[in-house]
Structures are given as C-alpha cells and as structure tokens.
Amino acid sequence: MSYEHIAVEDPAGDREKAASQGVVPVTLTRSGGGGLGTVAGPGVGAWPWGGRIPSSTLHRDRRWGWGFWGGVPFRGAPRLSELRPWLSGGAAGAAGGGGSSGEGGGGGGGAEKGGRVRCSRRVWVLLASLVLVFLTSLFFSVSLRGGYGFNYLEPPGWEESRRVKLVPSYVGAHRLSPPDTQQQKTCACSRCIGDPGVSDWFDENYDPDISPVWTRDNMQLPSDVYYWWVMLQPQFKPHSIQQVLLRLFQVIPGRSPYGSWDPGRCLRCAVVGNSGNLRGAGYGATIDGHNYIMRINLAPTVGYEEDAGSRTTHHFMYPESAKNLAANVSFVLVPFKTLDLVWITSALSTGQIRFTYAPVKQFLRVDKDKVQIFNPAFFKYIHDRWTRHHGRYPSTGMLVLFFALHVCDEVNVFGFGADSRGNWHHYWEQNRYSGEFRKTGVHDADFEAQIIQQLAKAGKITIFPGK
C-alpha cells in the first residue's frame, strides 16, 4: 500500500478533516524517554521504518497535531519522499532493534543525522545565494561608477580610450541647483523660474542640473537615451557618436555658454513661435525688448517686424530647415540622427553632404563660435517628464520653450497655438486655413497646449495670446 500524503495526528485531532484533505491520519504514542515514538494507523506496517520515529524529530503542528520536522518546520501533510531522508535512519534502527519504544536509539540518531545533513545543505544553498546577490550588486555598483572599465552603458562605437564622465540621471550638469530655501530668490526678476515652492507640480518635474546643450563635457549618452534618440529616424544608420562629436568639436567650441543661477541677474527671454496669431498683434517692440529672443525654423522677420520683432539671438533649426544667419545669432542645431551631426560638421567645413532625406545646404554661413547642439538627453527629459510620451516626440516649439526654461530667469511666450478663430497656420502664410502642421501625428498639439497653460498657471511663463 502506498501513501503519498501522511500526517501524524494526536488523538484529539480532527481525523475527518484530515481525511477530506487526502491525508492518512495516524496516531502517535510518544515515549517518555525521548527515544522513539510509535505510530499506529492503516498501512503503518508497510512503512520502511516500521511505524517508529524519533520523538526528537516531532513538533506540534497547528492544523493536524503532531507533524514531522527534519531541520525545517512545515505544516499540513508532507509527502512521503520528504519524510524518507529524515526517517531512514530510524527505519534501520527499528529493523535491527525490535518493536518497543525503548529500542532503536541508533536509528533515532541516524534520523537526526539525516535531518542535520538536510539542514546543512539548505544552509549552504542559502549562503551561496547570498554571495551571488552580493557579487551581482557589487558588479552593478562598480559599473555605475565607471570603475574597472565596465562599459555596458556605452552606446555602440564608444571607445574606451577617450571616455568621459557620465553624470547620473540625464547627463549634462552645467547649472547649479536653485537654493533649497524658499525665501532666497534665484534671480533679480519679479518672478524667477528657478524659485522653488511656487508650484509642486513644476518642482517635481523640473531638473535644473541638466544642460540643454551637448558639449565636450557630456558627450556620452546613457544607453536608454542613445537608443531612444537614434530610433527617432531609424531609417538612418547611426555613425559612431564619439568620432562624429570629436570631429564636430574641432570645428565648433563644444562648450555651454550658460552659467549658474545669479541672484543679481534678470535674464529675460522671448520664445517666439510661428503661429498665425502673431499677425496684427503688434508684439514686435515687446519681443525685441528681451535679452534673448529665440526663434524656430523658417521664422522670417523681414516684413513682419511690427508683429514678430526684428531681433534674434537664438535660432533653432534642423538640417532640412537650416538657413544662413547673421553673425550675432546663435545657431542651435536640433539633431534627430547622427547624420545631422555629420552634416553640420560638413556644412561648416568641407561641404560634402548635400542630401539627407531632403536637400540640405551644402555650406552654412553662421558664426561657428555661436553654434550649439541640442542635447538628446535634454530632448528625452522633456519627452519623459513634461510631454509624458504624448506623441512620438515633443515638437520643436516645446523643445525651445524648455530650453529657455533652463537658461533664462524669465520666459515670455509669443506665437504659440491657434489664432482667435481656432485656425492653425504660420504668420507668414497668406491663407490662414493652409496650416495643417497640427495634425502631423508626430506631436500631440492639444496635450502640449495643456502643458503650456499649466506652466502659465504655475507662474513660470507668461503667454501673449496674439490675435
């Protein structure tokens, strides 16, 4: 007769409940001397240990009364295979010593020895697991600190010979965090972007330590940023980032011109979008009165000075929208692929590249010392924390707005959103119904509009709505 489930129950136990669980109930008689106990019940004679077990291997079980224990306590009904290693020694003692409870002491010792062996194995397995966890944690800890040459965070093509420091989280720390105290202002403006405690929502998402500019000091991208960025336009095969940037920084300075917070400074910035609501708004003089005036892509000013202003300090473009700029204007390249970095190097030197997915300028007339590269880590920071993955990636307008929020003390926004009639078009277009850029499917214009309104509500920007 074979019993797969066995429980040892005292006379007061619930036999019917045990039977309903598929458990064979038996009765235990414990010896007073701590030697062997005697088990009686159906089929006990078929047990290899002759119905005798060491009383030292018993404990009180809450469900079924007495249960076996061989180094690790358990409840309910153990399988026979689990009992056999602990009681085989008892079986041998019973076979050689007879049937009384006073005999078979050697068998009891064997059972206890088997329990100790089983216990020691579990201890060794546990110790080995702890050592493995410790070594794994040590490996990742050293890797994150850049020690011992571990380069699992480096994108393909990153060579060990010219490694640069990796700043935690999003790379590119060039600004000092604003003071922790709410009483101390971060600038001399009436309202400062860096002042904490004004908006919990803003403070939770705003990272003052990330540089919007890609420089020599933050060339290396975290692997998640790198792979996200190169997949923005996956049809282009990535080049070696290190080699491309090293060549580029031989042509342009590769430094960030933006400093730390200055309580004595009030740096006012105008972010000028291309919305048709600028037409007839008469914001030209107001826009020109800012320290920094940031424009996007085509953004003509000649002929639109009264509404859009005439001055520009920063012009944000990508290769396919690039144009020549005056010597006093900073060209900020917004790269979507490594080919864009190759192009800007070529356009400022050899002129080898004339085409990406569209014709591009072979040579670009801009001030090389004023060329800046938009940091892909900053790009992803906006996508993660602010636009929250709405759309494939943020619009250029959102990129420029948050660029300003990280380099300026005060930001005023012009030319964003629809006009007063709900039309989306550019201010230089004669047909106000021709603009369909809102429905590209790449950006979520409605969600971005909500973020802009929330920034205004938080007191971090001022929106000039136009007409």
314 is catalytic: no
pLDDT score, position 118 = 54
Assigned CATH topology for domain 160-464? sialyltransferase cstii, chain A (3.90.1480)
* DSSP state, residue 171: S
CA distances from 254 to 197, 229, 335, 435 (A): 34, 20, 15, 36
pLDDT score, position 440 = 52
pLDDT score, position 7 = 43
Annotated catalytic residue within 292, 393, 406, 426: 393
Running along the chain, 467 residues long, what does each successive block of 10 average in pLDDT?
38 46 44 42 40 41 39 38 38 37 42 53 80 68 38 35 35 43 78 94 96 96 94 83 95 92 92 95 98 97 97 98 96 96 97 94 97 98 96 95 98 87 80 53 87 97 94
pLDDT score, position 441 = 64
393 is catalytic: yes
pLDDT score, position 442 = 83
Location of each CATH 3.90.1480.20 domain in the chain? 160-464
Annotated catalytic residue within 383, 406, 425, 443: 443
pTM: 0.62
For the residues of 261-326, what is the DSSP string, one character each?
--TT---EEEEE--BGGGTTT--HHHHHTSSEEEEESS---TT-HHHH-S--SEEEE-GGG-----
pLDDT score, position 433 = 55
Backbone angles phi, psi at 360, to 5 degrees: -130, 160
Residue 204, exposed/middle/buried by CB under 10 A (0-12, 13-18, 19+)? exposed
pLDDT score, position 122 = 76
